[in-house]
Amino acid sequence: KGRVALVTGASVGIGAAVARALVQHGMKVVGCARSVDKIEKLAAECQSAGYQGTLIPYKCDLSSEEEILSMFSAIKTLHQGVDVCINNAGLARPESLLSGKTDGWRTMIDVNILALSICTREAYQSMKERNVDDGHIININSMSGHRVVPSSVVHFYSATKYAVTALTEGLRQELREAKTHIRASCISPGLVETEFAFRLHDKNPEKAAATYESIKCLKAEDIASAVTFVLSVPPHMQIGDIQIRPVEQVS
């Protein structure tokens, strides 16, 4: 309550649900994405619902380091800094290894790995300069960061999520070496019904719809409740990774 949280990719899907849940819990949330109009709408909804916290929409293209750094300096001016960083923004492009386009691979690296790493570094520096010892960095990973599914369209995406697994564990170790009590966790969902598959199969919306109709999927709110759980555990407890799959998901 009263803590400042940055949620990346807060315009739709999991990020929007996480931002809403944190505002409901009384946090001062900065939600960023490119479609800032959607976050403005969410902020208005949170306000009319009478939630205790606040949501400040911030327009940021996370594939630009410059824009990320400007956002952190705006947060410093507004709220002194961040106490919690939820690295949620992410995407998959249908670029296989044998015939995928380099640009598609690069977009995934830029957002899924680089933006997450830059936000992590900036959030840590912000906590350090304000002596925030109970900060928390949570990465929204994927089950694809733990096993490779036999589907060429997501192999490269999966590789970026394996990187998130390594980065979260590496971060945990670096935080220990830095002798701080700031915590690092990740949450690894299976299939969640959001715009994710529609963006992946943007040329084939029927395929995206079929993905979500194939089984009873998770809801974005299920992942948001995992985030609030991770943030609620006592300070001596650190959740490493929570893997959450729909009951009907096989792989």
Q: Which stretch binds ligand NJP (CB under 6 A): 9-17, 72-80, 148-156, 176-184?
A: 9-17
DSSP summary character for residue 112: I
The set of residues, in sequence order, having a beta carbon less than 8 Å from that of 215 and lying 6+ positions away, is 191, 246, 248, 249
Q: Which stretch binds ligand NJP (CB under 6 A): 8-16, 50-58, 78-86, 93-101?
A: 8-16
Q: Does 135 bind ligand NJP (CB under 6 A)?
A: no
The rounded distance, in Å, linking the Cα atoms of 161 and 103 is 18
Q: Does 89 bind ligand NJP (CB under 6 A)?
A: yes
SS3 sequence of 187-238: EEECCECCCHHHHHCCCCHHHHHHHHHHCCCECHHHHHHHHHHHHHCCCCCC
The rounded distance, in Å, linking the Cα atoms of 251 and 244 is 12
Q: Any idea what the Cα angle at residue 9 is, between residues 66 and 197, rounded to 5°?
A: 125
The 3-state DSSP class for residue 52 equals coil
For ligand NJP, give the closer residue by CB, 60 or 132: 60
List binders of ligand NJP among 28-47 (CB under 6 A): 33-35
What residues are annotated to the active site? 157
List binders of ligand NJP among 144-183 (CB under 6 A): 144
Q: Is the Cβ–Cβ distance between 215 and 191 less than 8 Å?
A: yes
Interface pick for ligand NJP out of 24, 63, 117, 225 (rule CB under 6 A): 63
Question: How many residues touch ligand NJP (CB under 6 A)?
Answer: 30
Q: Does 195 bind ligand NJP (CB under 6 A)?
A: yes
Interface pick for ligand NJP out of 19, 86, 137, 140 (rule CB under 6 A): 140
What's the distance, Cα to Cα, between the start and end of the chain in Å? 37
Q: Does 221 bind ligand NJP (CB under 6 A)?
A: no
Q: Does 90 bind ligand NJP (CB under 6 A)?
A: yes
Interface pick for ligand NJP out of 5, 9, 53, 227 (rule CB under 6 A): 9
The set of residues, in sequence order, having a beta carbon less than 8 Å from that of 65 and lying 6+ positions away, is 114, 118
The set of residues, in sequence order, having a beta carbon less than 8 Å from that of 2 and lying 6+ positions away, is 26, 27, 28
Q: Does 246 bind ligand NJP (CB under 6 A)?
A: no
Q: Does 222 bind ligand NJP (CB under 6 A)?
A: no
Residues that bind ligand NJP (CB under 6 A): 9, 11-15, 33-35, 60-63, 88-91, 111, 140, 142-144, 189-192, 194-196, 199
